[in-house]
Structure 1
Amino acid sequence: MNQVQTDSRPAAITVGTDNQPIPRETQLAAYNAAFIELDLSFRWDAEMYEWLCGIECEKARVARYIEEHHAHLLAAYDAAFLSGLIFEKKNEYLRAVGHLN
C-alpha cells in the first residue's frame, strides 16, 4: 500500500556546479545509488521523491523517510547519522556524474 500523502508543497531545488537546478531524475538516481551502496533496502520512486521534496532540508527529508518507513533502523542508528551518511553518498554520485564539485 502506498502511504505517500498528496499535497501541494513547494518543491525544494538542488543546484549544481553550474548554478542550475539538478534534474529531479538525476537526484532520484543519486539517492537510489546511495541506498544501494550503503546496502539499504530503500528505493524511492518518483512519487515518493516528489513528496519528500516538500521538505526543504535534504537531510531532514531523509530522516523523515526513515522515521516513517524504516523506524526499526532507529533502534541501532541515529536518524541524523543515517541521513548524513546517505546525503554524502548521494553527493559522491552527483560529483561522479559531473553535477557537483
Structure 2
Amino acid sequence: MNQVQIESQPAATVGRDNQPLSRATQLAAYNAAFIELGLRFRWDEAMYEWLCGIECEKERVARYIEEHHTHLLKAYDAAFLSQLIFDKKNEYLRAVGHLN
C-alpha cells in the first residue's frame, strides 16, 4: 500500500488500547444505538462496508438516512440524528469497554 492509499483511507475509531476498533465491533455498536433509539433500521456488513467509503462517521449516518429513511427528515435534521446516533454508538462502546 502506498502513501496516497494510506492517506485516503477513512480514519478508524480508536479503542482503549489505542488500536483501531474492528469494523465488526463498530457495526455492532451502530446497530445497538439504532435499537436503543427505537430506529427501525439495521446495517449489515455490506451496507457498513459501503458506508465506510464516507470518511466522516456523522456524514456516513446522515447519508444513510437521506438515502434510505427520508421520512425521518420531516421531523428531524440529518445532523441532529447523526449526532444522536454517533453519541449512542460511543456510549455503547464505552459500556462494553472499548472506549474510555
Give the TM-score normalised by structure 1: 0.88
Structure 1: runs of 5 or more not aligned: 1-8
Structure 2 gaps, min length 5? 1-7
State yes or no: 1:88 paired with 2:87.
yes
Q: Which amino acid aligns with 1:62?
A: V
Pairs aligned (count) = 93
Are residue 73 (structure 1) and residue 72 (structure 2) matched? yes
**CA–CA distance in structure 2, aligned partners of residues 39 and 97 of structure 1:** 20
Task: Identify the structure with the greater helix proportion.
Answer: 2
Which residue in the other structure is 1:3 paired with?
none
Superposed CA RMSD: 1.2
Give the TM-score normalised by structure 2.
0.88
Which residues of 2 match residues 21-100 of structure 1 at below 5 A? Answer: 21-100=20-99
Q: What is the alpha-carbon distance in structure 1 between the residues aligned to residue 46 and residue 62 of structure 2?
A: 17
Could you tell me the percent identity over the aligned residues? 82
Structure 1 segments (4+ residues) deviating >3 Å: 9-12
Equivalent-residue separation in structure 2 for 1:10 and 1:66 (angstroms): 23
* Contact 1:58-1:87 within 8 A present in 2 as well: yes
Q: Distance in 1 between matches of 2:90 and 2:72?
A: 22
- Deviation at residue 10 of structure 1 after TM alignment: 3.9
The CA distance in 2 between the partners of 1:46 and 1:11, in whole Å, is 16
